[in-house]
Amino acid sequence: MAQEQDFQARGGVAAGSARQGMFGVTGTGDTSGFGGLRLPAYAPAAAQRPFGGWFDELTDDLLAALDARGTARTALQQVVVDRGEITYYLQPETVLDVCRALRDDEALRFELCSSVSAVDHGPDVPQRLHVVYHLTSMTYRRRVRLEVALDVPGDGGMDQTPHVPSVVAVYPTADWQERETWDMFGIVFDGHPALTRILMPDDWAGHPQRKDYPLGGIPVEYKGGAEIPPPDQRRAYS
């Protein structure tokens, strides 16, 4: 069934890098107590048919729904099955169409978007920023992950702004979650009704969960007056 498996033959999505220390900081700059942590890079390989369980049926139904909507099958960039969970990697521009298919098709019925978040794999990784969506079908009691890998324009600095379509029009629950992802990672969700900061002050510079965000010297300020000291002034573990 080559037509159904064409998306599996494409190259893998770049992700993951070796990790040293809790925040990539060692020596006197580390205040977490995990300066000696060493973790190898980990990126699950693309899965091959059969995926197992209901994953094959789900994938067939999703491909059929995309065909019915005229959405190219190339929307599915890669399929990963890892730790009992299936993840569909999507082309960024297709995420809204895929979400509509997953929500509205009778065989799919993923009515709830329970989470939108992001991961920064670091400046050394191509497509370093990944947006992750967790969808739930309350009709069929199933869960699925969508993931969109984004290139960071320019030199990858904190002022660079990758874009992905907002899914608020399909899943209203994504509203504040997309705002938090923009606030923390600097990912612009095109079409969001009010993409403003939700945790950091409105005039804050940069996005604190980027791997290239400075760790020391700046206290974290929250709306309402709460403040956390900068990392280099917190408790040291020695």
The band of 7, judged by pLDDT with boundaries at 50, 70 and 90, is: very low
Position 160 in a domain:
yes
Which position has the higher pLDDT, 1 or 62?
A: 62
Please report whether residue 27 resides in a domain.
no
| pLDDT above 70 (res 238) | no
Q: What is the pTM of this model?
A: 0.81
Report the CATH number that the domain containing residue 223 is assigned in CATH: 3.30.460.80
17 part of a folded domain: no
What pLDDT digit, counting tens, does each position of 143-176 carry?
999 999 998 876 545 456 899 999 999 999 999 9
| pLDDT grade for 4, boundaries at 50, 70 and 90 | very low
**pLDDT number for residue 12:** 58
Summarize the confidence of residues 78-94 as an average pLDDT. 94
Average pLDDT over residues 207-215: 84
Q: 16 lies in a domain?
A: no
Residue 235: what pLDDT?
62
Q: For residue 180, is it within any domain?
A: yes
Q: How confident is the model at residue 16 (pLDDT cuts 50, 70, 90)?
A: low
Give me the residue label for tokens 């069929």: 140
Q: 49 with 77: CB under 8 angstroms? A: no
Q: For residue range 25-47, what is the model confidence (pLDDT) as tens digits?
A: 666 666 666 777 777 766 778 89
The pLDDT score that the predictor gives to residue 213 is 83
User: Domain for residue 12, yes or no?
Assistant: no
pLDDT at residue 145, as a whole number: 97
Q: Domain span at residue 193? A: 46-233
Q: Is residue 32 part of a domain?
A: no
Tokens of 134: 């967790």
Would 79 be classed as within a structural domain?
yes
**What total number of domains does the chain contain?**
1
pLDDT in tens, 217-237: 667 777 777 887 776 676 655
